Amino acid sequence: MSEFLTKSRARNVFYGGSIFFVVVFVALTAQSHRHIVDKATAGMPLTDEVVLGKHVWERNSCINCHTLHGEGAYFAPEVGNVMTRWGVLDDPEGAYEMLDGWMAAQPSGIEGRRQMPHFEITEEEMRGLAEFLRWADQTDTQNWPPNDAG
Amino acid sequence: MKYQSQKVAYAYFLAAMALFGIQVLGGLLLGWIYVSPNTLSEVLPFNIVRMIHTNALIVWLLLGFFGAAYYLVPEESEREIFSVKLAYIQLAILVVGTLGAVGSYLVGIHGGREFLEQPLWVKFGILVAAVIFLVNVSLTFLAGRKTAITNILMMGLWLLCLLWIFAFINPDNLSLDKMYWWMVVHLWVEATWELVMAAILGFLMLKLTGVDREVIEKWLYIIVATALFSGILGTGHHFYWIGTPGYWQWIGSIFSTFEVVPFFAMMSFAFVMVWKGRKNHPNKAALLWSLGSSTVAFFGAGVWGFLHTLHGVNFYTHGTQITAAHGHLAFYGAYVALNLAMFTYAMPILRGRDPYNQVLNMASFWLMTGGMAFMTFTLTFAGTIQTHMQRIVGDYFMDVQDQLGLFYLMRFGSGIAVVLGALLFIYSMLVVRREVVKPGPVAVPGE
């Protein structure tokens, strides 16, 4: 093997092969981009309200306790399907009220219980956050999570 | 130390070790919040501490890589660094940016993409620092001798800096956001960082074992080829459930199975080189960390990664404590231990005082590695129970978490061992001046 696979051959295999895989990856990524926009997230329009909600989600760093589509911090429940769990997936007003009520009750202060902080969120922002979570819940995630528990 | 400018690495390593201390202390606090959730819940909530824990880790590993490059490139290129001043300016920008980021996290100003929470001005600072770094090492590299080690190191560093561009791209569409987010996160740790790791490991093997450069460099090209061939399409294992097409389930499963190969190769490489070399290098601690790093990386990244990477398994384990278990051991083995190997090798030379205390350093290796292994086991058991109760039976998240208290308590215990190990490491690097155990007489090898 050592005679056939010289250092320069190994180097050429490395460079050539890497370029090949980069090209394949870029092509698949472009196709996935189209798939996400046209199919997977087409269930509900990406309104200004949803975008506002995403910014609220980011500004308060919810991802560093919760998971969203399974990605995040594993310290608090999955929220990619929270609107399904609450039974308000198709009810914007109900979604807002549930979320607003839940957030207003935090932190619970119960001893030995994980505490969700208090967040300063206006009504408009809270409606946006509820719409964002409804929007995320309608994404085609290949049937993940396995059940409503998330 | 052959070249005066290598000395800049010392400042990088010091900054890296300071952040390492902050990172593990943050981790210990997080572990305690799992045990006693009301701790600091109003002043310093979990999400803020976690940002500090993960960001400090990433920045100190990068500082370690940059320092390693400044140490290694002059020696390989056989010339001084292009500009020592630029290297210090780069470090100053990174330190100011890091302190600024931590400060703004503490007052509640941060972004919301995991690991990329840095305020925009810090992100730009990192970009500027990266450009300075690339200019500085590239000019050194281009003017001097080119070796496979520096070729691969430069390629890894260039690509990882270029991928940082994706930190600025945040689409309004959550699924697109997630897809492009992985271009930084996955293509760093499972592609470009592996090139940096292989190059540094190759350099250490060259210095510590005395094996012929030709042999080492051929191995290196094979290792990095398997790393990129598997790692690039291996990104697919993050595209199972975020709104991306279903074909990623097969591409991700197949290519991330191959991701075990480069880690197995790096482990084999390290052991074969040590066996072949038979050089009696006095820095035993650096050798221990090098072998330990490649071995733990194989288990953490290779075995624990494979454990939950097949899409049929990941459907149930995704986003549970299994992920946390894998993340901790993989990062520790592949990147923490590798950086500590480089520090252990270079620091005595940079400070002009070898031999130095190796016994305490080696003790810190076993303390930290033992702690991380135990942490990985407890989280794996916790994750297994969580997967069953939550994903199969369908119990609610918090009900399940309430059943896992014992594992989180044991995890906290293992965290104490890791923190003690880390502090012992820093102490043995910076404070101790004399060996605590006298080395035995060198035996004459019998025929």
**Is residue A143 a part of any domain in this protein?**
no
Q: Quick one: A109 and A127 in the same domain?
A: yes
pLDDT digits (tens, 9 = 90+) for B197-209: 999 999 999 999 9
pLDDT band at B53 (very low <50, low <70, confident <90, very high): very high
pLDDT band at B247 (very low <50, low <70, confident <90, very high): very high
* B419-441 mean pLDDT: 85
The residue ranges of DSSP E strands in A1-148, in sequence order, are 67-68, 71-72
Query: Taking the CB of residue B117, how many other CB atoms lie within 10 A of it?
Result: 26
Number of domains in chain A: 2
| Residue-number span of the structural domain to which A5 is assigned | 1-39
pLDDT band at A91 (very low <50, low <70, confident <90, very high): very high
Structure tokens that stand for A4 in this block: 């056939």
- Which residues from chain B sit within 8 angstroms of residue A70, using beta carbons? 241, 318-319
Q: Quick one: A52 and A112 in the same domain?
A: yes
Query: Taking the CB of residue A92, how many other CB atoms lie within 10 A of it?
Result: 15
**Is residue A26 a part of any domain in this protein?**
yes
pLDDT band at B1 (very low <50, low <70, confident <90, very high): confident
Given a cut of 90, is residue B273 above it in pLDDT? yes
CATH of the domain at A61: 1.10.760.10
pLDDT digits (tens, 9 = 90+) for B107-133: 999 999 999 999 999 999 999 999 999
| ipTM of the prediction | 0.96
* A29-38 mean pLDDT: 98
Among residues 73-132 of chain A, which lie with CB inside 8 Å of chain B?
Answer: 73-78, 107, 109, 111-115, 117, 132
pLDDT digits (tens, 9 = 90+) for B127-154: 999 999 999 999 999 999 999 999 999 9
- Which residues from chain B sit within 8 angstroms of residue A7, using beta carbons? 148, 214, 217-218, 221
Q: Quick one: A53 and A106 in the same domain?
A: yes
Question: Is residue B3 within 8 angstroms of chain A, CB to CB?
Answer: no
Q: Do residues B179 and A139 touch, judged by C-beta distance below 8 A?
A: no
Q: Rounded to whole angstroms, how far apart are CA atoms B121 and B232?
A: 30
pLDDT digits (tens, 9 = 90+) for B171-196: 999 999 999 999 999 999 999 999 99
Q: Quick one: A134 and A75 in the same domain?
A: yes
Q: What's the CA dihedral at B52, B54, B55, B61 to 10 degrees?
A: 130
Task: Note the pLDDT of residue B443.
Answer: 59
3 state DSSP class of A72: strand
Express the helix, strand and coil content of chain A in percent, nearest 5 each.
55, 5, 45
pLDDT digits (tens, 9 = 90+) for B77-108: 999 999 999 999 999 999 999 999 999 999 99
Task: Note the pLDDT of residue B442.
Answer: 61
Structure tokens that stand for A27 in this block: 């092509």
Q: Quick one: A26 and A94 in the same domain?
A: no
**Is residue A22 a part of any domain in this protein?**
yes
**Is residue A116 a part of any domain in this protein?**
yes
pLDDT band at B287 (very low <50, low <70, confident <90, very high): very high
Q: Quick one: A121 and A56 in the same domain?
A: yes
Task: Note the pLDDT of residue B447.
Answer: 45
Q: Quick one: A93 and A28 in the same domain?
A: no
* A48-75 mean pLDDT: 97
Q: Quick one: A81 and A31 in the same domain?
A: no
For the entire predicted model, the pTM comes to 0.95
**Is residue A149 a part of any domain in this protein?**
no
**Is residue A85 a part of any domain in this protein?**
yes
pLDDT band at B354 (very low <50, low <70, confident <90, very high): low
Q: Quick one: A81 and A112 in the same domain?
A: yes
Out of B110, B235, B241, name the one closest to residue A70 (CB). Answer: B241
**Is residue A90 a part of any domain in this protein?**
yes
**Is residue A127 a part of any domain in this protein?**
yes
Q: Quick one: A30 and A62 in the same domain?
A: no
Q: Quick one: A64 and A115 in the same domain?
A: yes
Question: Is residue A57 within 8 angstroms of chain B, CB to CB?
Answer: yes
> Are B178 and A71 in contact (CB < 8 Å)?
yes
- Which residues from chain B sit within 8 angstroms of residue A60, using beta carbons? 112
Structure tokens that stand for B332 in this block: 């520790």
* B319-324 mean pLDDT: 97
Q: Quick one: A52 and A35 in the same domain?
A: no
Question: Is residue B237 within 8 angstroms of chain A, CB to CB?
Answer: no
- Which residues from chain A sit within 8 angstroms of residue B45, using beta carbons? 65, 115, 117
Q: Do residues B260 and B302 touch, judged by C-beta distance below 8 A?
A: yes
Kindly report the length of chain B: 447
Residue whose tokens read 């520090």:
B343
